[in-house]
C-alpha cells in the first residue's frame, strides 16, 4: 500500500468514527486530521468539505473496496435477495455502523443540501444496482416485465430501514419474510 493510500484510509476511518461520536454538526476537518494523524492540508488536498470526506468514508467502509459492487446474480432472484437483505440486516445491526449512520441520517433530516448530496453520491448508485438485479430477473422471466422496479426496491428495503430507524427487532428471518412476501406481491400483479 502506498503511503497516500494509507493516509486516505486513515482519514476515512477517522471521519466515520468521529461522526458517530460527536454528530455531524460538530464534525470538523481539524478533528478528522487529528484523529487520522495527518495535517489538515492533506485532507483539503483530496476533499473540499467535511461532507465530501464523510460520503467517501461511507462508500469505502460499507462495501468491500476490492469487490464487485453489483448485487449477486445466480439466476435465483429470491435466494440472491435474501443474501443481500441478510447482509443489510447484519450491517444495520453492527454497532460500528450504527452511530455513524444515525448521525448522518439526523444531519440529512435537517439539511436538504446534505440530503441531496447523499442522494446523488450514495443512494442513487445503490438504487441503480438494485434495479439492475431486478431488471435481470425480468429478463430471466422471474419477475413480470411490467413490474414497477422503484416500487419493488422500496417494498424490499424500506421495512429494514424502518426497523433500524425505530430500533425495532431486525433479524435474518424478517429479511427472508420481506423478500418472500414482496416478491409474491410483485409476481401476482
- Residue numbers of the site for its own copies (CB under 8 A)? 23, 102-103, 105-107, 109-110, 112, 115, 119, 123, 148, 151, 154-155, 157-159, 161-163, 165-167, 174, 177-178, 180-189
**Dmax over Cα atoms in the chain, in whole Å?**
58
Give the whole-angstrom CA distance, residue 105 versus residue 93. Answer: 16
Q: Least CB distance from residue 67 to its own copies, whole Å? A: 25
Q: Least CB distance from residue 105 to its own copies, whole Å? A: 6
Nearer Cβ to its own copies (1/188): 188
Q: Least CB distance from residue 40 to its own copies, whole Å? A: 26
Nearer Cβ to its own copies (65/112): 112
Give me the helices (H) in the chain, please.
3-22, 29-36, 40-46, 50-61, 77-92, 95-110, 112-118, 124-139, 149-165, 172-188
Q: Least CB distance from residue 23 to its own copies, whole Å? A: 7
Instruction: Report the half-sphere exposure of 94 (CA within 13 A, side-chain side).
Output: 12
Nearer Cβ to its own copies (95/112): 112
Give the whole-angstrom CA distance, residue 129 versus residue 83. Answer: 15
Amino acid at each position: 500500500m502506498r503511503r497516500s493510500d494509507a493516509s486516505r484510509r486513515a482519514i476515512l476511518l477517522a471521519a466515520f468514527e468521529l461522526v458517530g461520536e460527536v454528530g455531524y454538526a460538530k464534525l470538523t476537518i481539524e478533528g478528522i486530521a487529528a484523529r487520522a494523524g495527518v495535517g489538515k492540508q492533506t485532507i483539503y488536498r483530496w476533499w473540499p468539505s467535511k461532507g465530501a470526506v464523510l460520503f467517501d468514508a461511507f462508500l469505502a467502509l460499507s462495501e468491500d473496496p476490492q469487490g464487485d459492487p453489483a448485487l449477486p446474480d445466480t439466476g435465483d432472484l429470491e435466494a440472491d435477495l435474501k443474501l443481500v437483505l441478510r447482509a443489510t440486516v447484519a450491517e444495520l445491526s453492527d454497532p460500528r455502523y450504527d452511530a455513524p449512520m444515525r448521525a448522518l441520517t439526523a444531519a440529512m433530516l435537517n439539511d436538504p443540501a446534505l440530503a441531496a448530496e447523499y442522494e446523488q453520491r450514495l443512494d442513487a448508485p445503490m438504487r441503480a444496482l438494485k434495479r439492475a438485479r431486478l431488471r435481470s430477473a425480468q429478463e430471466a422471466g422471474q419477475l413480470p416485465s411490467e413490474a414497477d422496479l422503484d416500487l419493488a426496491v422500496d417494498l424490499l428495503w424500506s421495512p429494514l430501514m424502518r426497523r433500524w430507524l425505530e430500533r425495532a427487532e431486525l433479524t435474518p428471518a424478517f429479511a427472508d419474510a420481506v423478500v418472500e412476501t414482496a416478491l409474491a406481491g410483485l409476481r401476482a400483479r
